[in-house]
Structure 1
Amino acid sequence: MAALRTLVFLALSGVCSCQTSDCSYHGLLAYLNLTASNKVLEIMRPVKNWTQATLIQMDMFVYGILDVNEKFQTVTSHTWTETHWTNEFLTWNPSDFCGIDSVTIPTSMVWLPDVIIEEDCSDSGSVKKDPVVLLESNGTSRSTVRQRLTYTCQLNLTLFPFDTQQCNITFRSMSSDVGSIKLGPVKNGTTLTRISEWFMITQGEWRLVKMETFVEEIVNDRRCWSKLVFTVTLERKPMLYVIILIVPLFYLLVLDLASFFIHEDGGEKLGFKVTILLSISVLLLILKDILPSTEENLPIIAEYCLAVFTLVWLSVLEAMLISFLRALDEPPVPEENGEFKPETICFQPAQPSDCDLLKRILEEVKAARQEVGSQKKKETEPGCYRKLAKIIDHLQLNNRDVQVTGVVSIYQLNT
C-alpha cells in the first residue's frame, strides 16, 4: 500500500513538472521580459530599494606591456577588465527552465555601470567591449572589456636606467556617488599578478613586478565618490642602456686619462682629446632623446654624463694651455737667404805666410765649435715656460685619477 502511494506521488510530480518547465531560452527571456525592448531595464539602476547602493566589483589583468614613454609620461598596455554586479530584476529558478543557470543577452537591453578610467588617454578605437552580458540565475551580471590602454603615469627617472615605476589606474563612476555605486575588487593583488604573469604575451624592456588594489572614497563638490585603484609596479631591464651609455662613457673617460701619456711633440694629443669630447656629445644627444626635458629630479645618469663631459672639457683646455706654454720657449727660426757671408775671414791683399793662415783657420774652427755648443745647450735646457707646462701636466694627471675614482664611487653609491 505504501509503495502504491509512492508511485502515485511520483507520477503526479512528473506531470506537474512537465506542465511548468520550459527548456528554451526564448521561454526564459519571455519570463524576464527581455523579448522586446524594455526601457526601464535599460536606464534604471537595477535595485528594488533605491536607498541600497549597487556594488560594482572589477578585476583588471595586464597581459602585455607595450611601451613606456618617458617624454610624454605615459604607459601603454594590453588590459582585460571584468565587471560584476547584481541585477535584482533579472533572477529565476534554474529548475523551472530545465537547469538553465546562465544566459547571454545584448548589452543594449540592460543597465550597465558608467565606470571610466581617470588616467585614460587612449583613443576610442583601442577599446573592444563585449557585445553581450553574461547573466546568471541569481541576477549576477558580468561584462568584459579588452583594451589597448594608454594611461598617464608620473615617472620617477632619478635612478634611470635602474628605475622601478608605480602607476595607478583609477576606476570611478561618471555620474553616481557612493550612495548609488560602490566599487570594489573581486580578487586580491597577488592573484591578479599571478594571472597576469600567466597570460603575459609581451613585456619588452619592462617586467611586471606586482599589482595591488585598494578602495578609496573622495569628497568632491559635497559628494562622496567611490574609487577603485589598481597599482601596477613595473621594473626596467637596464642591460641595453648599460651597454650603449654607461660603459662607453667610462671607456671614453679612461681614454682621456690615457691621453696624458701622449708626447706633446707629436701634435696628436689635442686632436685626440677633441675627438673624445665629440664622442661624448653624441652620447649626450642619445640620452636627450630618451629622457624628458625637465630640471626636476635630474637622473643620476645625466649627472654622470655631465661630470664626464666636464672632465674631458677641462682636459682639452689643459692640453691647449700646455701647448701654448711650450710654444713660448721655442727659439725663433733663423731666416735663410742662401747667400754666403764671410764674417771673420778676411783675406788681405798681400799674401800672408803659411803659419798665419793656419792660425786664422784654427781660430775660426774654435769659434764655430763654441757657437754650436751654446745652441745645443739652449735646446737641451728647457725654459721656465716648459717647466711650468710639465708641472701642470703632472698635477692634472694626478688630479684626474682622483676625479675618475670619485665619479665612479658616487655613481655606484647612488645606484
Structure 2
Amino acid sequence: MPSPFAAATDMLSHAVFALLLLVFTGGTQSDKVCSYHDIVEYLNLTADSSLYKTTRPVLDHTHITVAELDVILMAILSVVEKTQTFVPFIWAMLKWKDERISWDPDQFCGITKFSIPRDLIWKPDLYIYEMIHKDESSVNPLLFVSYNGMISSEEDMKVVSTCKLDVHKFPFDTQSCNLSIGSALHCVSEFHLIPSSNSSRATQYSHEVLKSQGEWEFLHLSIDTNIFRYEDKMWEQLIYTFTMKRRPLLHVINFLLPILFFLTLDLSSFFISDHRSEKLGFKVTILLAISVLLLILNEILPAMSNETPLIATYSIVIFGLMLLSLLETILVTYLLDKDQVLQRELWLKKQEELSSDQQEAEKAKKTFCWCICKAYESEKQGDVPLQAEEVKTITQSAEPQVLLLIHQQLKELQEGINMHTGYRARGGKFVRWAERINQVYFVLYSTTVVVFLLHIFTEWSS
C-alpha cells in the first residue's frame, strides 16, 4: 500500500502538468478545425457581395492608399529599331492594404493568409503609359489576402512598349527604355505608389532570374519617381528604366566587314592596268554590291532619327569614294582612248607624207632594175656594154631609195601590229596626264580612306 504522502505527491505532479499543458495550448484542450471558407464567410467575401470591389479600400476617404510595386526583368524578347518598340517579359508584384479586411488568426487556427479570386476585391488601376499593345498572356486569377488587410498580386506579362531609340552608334549602341507605371484615375491625394526594391536590388534580382537576352545584354535597372500636374491635380508615376547594350558581332560580320572588304578590293583595283577594259567592269560590280548592302541597311534603321547613324555615314562615304574612283577610271580610260586616236591620226598623216617618197623610191627601184637588166642583156647579146662609171652612178643613186622603201614598209607593219594590240605610245600627252591623275588620286584616295576609318571607329568606340 502506498503511503498517503506518496499519493499526495503524485496528485500534485499531475496538477502541475495539467496546468502547464493549459498554458502552452492556449487554455483549451479541445482540437478546433478551421477552414478558409470560415474566413470568407466572416469577411463576407463572396461573389454576391460588392462591398470590397466598388470603392477604394479605406475607412476614411481622406486616407491615402499606399501600394508597393516590385518589377523584375525576366527576358528581353526584342528591340525593333524600325518600329521603335521594346518588348520585355517582366515579373511584377503589387502590394496594398485594404482597411476593411482584418481577422484574428487565433480565432481561425492561426491562418494568416489565403487566396481569393481577383474579381472579388478592389485592385489599383495601374497603367503602363508606353504600352502600345494589350497584353494577351494569361492573367493570374488569384490574389493573396493577409490577416492585417495586406493584398498581394503577382503577374508575369509581356509588354510591347514604345521606346525612343538612339541609333546614332548602331550597332555599337546602348539603349535605355522606360516603363512608366501609374494610376490612371487616382491622383497623389488618393493613391501613392512606391517601389518595393531600390535600383541595385532590382538590378541584382533581374540578373539572377534573367532567362533570355538574345541580341541585347542587360546592364542595369533604375527606378525613379515622377510627379506631373494635369488639370490642377498631381499624378504620380514610377519610371523603370532598362539599360541594355547591343551585341554587335552579327552586324559586324554581315555588314561592316563586307563593306570594308569591298573597299579593299576597290583600292587594289588601282594595280590593274588601265589598258585593260576589265578594270571598269570590276569597279562597277563592286559599286553594285555596295548598293545591295545599302538596301539591307534601309530595312534595319528607322525612317526618322535625330542624328544620322554612324553606320549610314560609314556606308555613304565609302559608296561615294567608290563612285569617285569609278569616275576617275572613266576619265583615265577616256584620256587613253583619246591618245590612241591621236596616235592613229599622226600615223595616218605620216603615211600621207611618206606616200610621195614611196613613189619616188619605187621609181628609183624600177630605174635601178631597168639599168641592171639592160646591162645584163647588152652583155649577153654582145653589144657594147655600158660604161662602168655610168652603172656605178645609177646604182649609187637608186640604192638609198630602195633601202628607205624597205625601212618604211617594216615600220608600217610594226605600227599596224601595235595599233591592233592596243598599244599606246609612251610619252603621249594624254598618256602622261592619265598616269599623273592615277598617281595623285591613289594617294588622295588612300589617305582619305585611312583618315575616315580612324575617325568613324573612334566615334563608335567613344
Between the aligned partners of 1:34 and 1:288, the Cα distance in structure 2 is 58
SS at match of 1:116: strand
Between the aligned partners of 2:78 and 2:338, the Cα distance in structure 1 is 59
Between the aligned partners of 2:125 and 2:32, the Cα distance in structure 1 is 36
Counterpart check, 1:404 vs 2:449: yes
Residues 277-292 of structure 1: matches in 2 within 5 Å?
277-292=287-302
Between the aligned partners of 1:295 and 1:107, the Cα distance in structure 2 is 43
2:344 maps to what in 1?
A: 332
1:338 maps to what in 2?
A: none
Counterpart check, 1:221 vs 2:221: no
Alignment match of 1:27 (pick from 23, 26, 38): 38
Between the aligned partners of 1:30 and 1:264, the Cα distance in structure 2 is 97
Tell me how far 1:35 sits from its aligned partner: 3.9
1:95 maps to what in 2?
A: 106
State which drifts further: 64-73 or 356-365.
356-365
Q: Taking structure 1 as reference, are residues 370 and 9 closer, same or farther at Cα in structure 2, changes over 3 Å only?
A: closer
Alignment match of 1:352 (pick from 371, 380, 388): 371
Residues 3-402 of structure 1: matches in 2 within 5 Å?
4=15, 7=18, 17=28, 23-126=34-137, 128-294=138-304, 296-330=306-340, 331-332=343-344, 343-344=359-360, 345-346=362-363, 347=366, 351-354=370-373, 355=391, 356=394, 360=398, 362-369=400-407, 380-402=425-447
Tell me how far 1:293 sits from its aligned partner: 1.4
Q: TM-score, normalised by structure 1?
A: 0.90
Runs of 4+ off more than 6 Å? 12-16, 374-378
Contact 1:129–1:144, Cα closer than 8 Å, also in 2: no
Q: Deviations over 1:28-87 (max 9, x none)?
A: 111111145221211111111211110111111211111111011001121111111011
Between the aligned partners of 1:12 and 1:261, the Cα distance in structure 2 is 103
Contact 1:74–1:153, Cα closer than 8 Å, also in 2: yes
User: Would you tell me which structure has more helix in proportion to its own residues?
Assistant: 2
In structure 1, give the amino acid aligned to 2:294.
L
Contact 2:177–2:241, Cα closer than 8 Å, also in 1: yes
State which drifts further: 400-409 or 12-21.
12-21
In structure 2, give the amino acid aligned to 1:224.
M
Tell me how far 1:370 sits from its aligned partner: 5.0
Tell me how far 1:371 sits from its aligned partner: 6.7
Tell me how far 1:412 sits from its aligned partner: 2.1
Q: Taking structure 1 as reference, are residues 280 and 205 closer, same or farther at Cα in structure 2, changes over 3 Å only?
A: same
Tell me how far 1:268 sits from its aligned partner: 1.4
Tell me how far 1:13 sits from its aligned partner: 9.6
Let me know the Cα RMSD of the aligned residues. Answer: 3.1
Q: Taking structure 1 as reference, are residues 153 and 107 closer, same or farther at Cα in structure 2, changes over 3 Å only?
A: same
Between the aligned partners of 1:50 and 1:381, the Cα distance in structure 2 is 101
SS at match of 1:129: coil
Tell me how far 1:19 sits from its aligned partner: 8.0
Between the aligned partners of 2:315 and 2:121, the Cα distance in structure 1 is 59
Between the aligned partners of 1:60 and 1:30, the Cα distance in structure 2 is 34
SS at match of 1:41: coil
SS at match of 2:293: helix
Q: Deviations over 1:271-307 (max 9, x none)?
A: 1111111111111111111001125311111111111
Q: Taking structure 1 as reference, are residues 122 and 18 closer, same or farther at Cα in structure 2, changes over 3 Å only?
A: farther
Q: Taking structure 1 as reference, are residues 309 and 319 closer, same or farther at Cα in structure 2, changes over 3 Å only?
A: same
Between the aligned partners of 1:95 and 1:10, the Cα distance in structure 2 is 18
SS at match of 2:51: helix
Between the aligned partners of 2:287 and 2:254, the Cα distance in structure 1 is 17
Tell me how far 1:241 sits from its aligned partner: 0.9
Between the aligned partners of 1:62 and 1:12, the Cα distance in structure 2 is 49
Between the aligned partners of 2:22 and 2:427, the Cα distance in structure 1 is 128
Contact 1:21–1:96, Cα closer than 8 Å, also in 2: no
Q: Taking structure 1 as reference, are residues 321 and 103 closer, same or farther at Cα in structure 2, changes over 3 Å only?
A: same
Contact 2:46–2:120, Cα closer than 8 Å, also in 1: no
Question: Any stretches of 5+ residues in structure 1 without a counterpart?
Answer: 336-340
Between the aligned partners of 1:343 and 1:90, the Cα distance in structure 2 is 130
State which drifts further: 379-388 or 94-103.
379-388
Q: Taking structure 1 as reference, are residues 36 and 165 closer, same or farther at Cα in structure 2, changes over 3 Å only?
A: closer
Tell me how far 1:351 sits from its aligned partner: 4.3
Tell me how far 1:343 sits from its aligned partner: 3.6
Matched residue pairs, number?
411
Q: TM-score, normalised by structure 2?
A: 0.82
Between the aligned partners of 1:321 and 1:142, the Cα distance in structure 2 is 77
Q: Taking structure 1 as reference, are residues 381 and 255 closer, same or farther at Cα in structure 2, changes over 3 Å only?
A: closer
Contact 2:140–2:155, Cα closer than 8 Å, also in 1: yes
Tell me how far 1:252 sits from its aligned partner: 1.3
Between the aligned partners of 1:292 and 1:113, the Cα distance in structure 2 is 36
Contact 2:135–2:159, Cα closer than 8 Å, also in 1: no
Tell me how far 1:186 sits from its aligned partner: 0.6
Between the aligned partners of 2:201 and 2:182, the Cα distance in structure 1 is 22
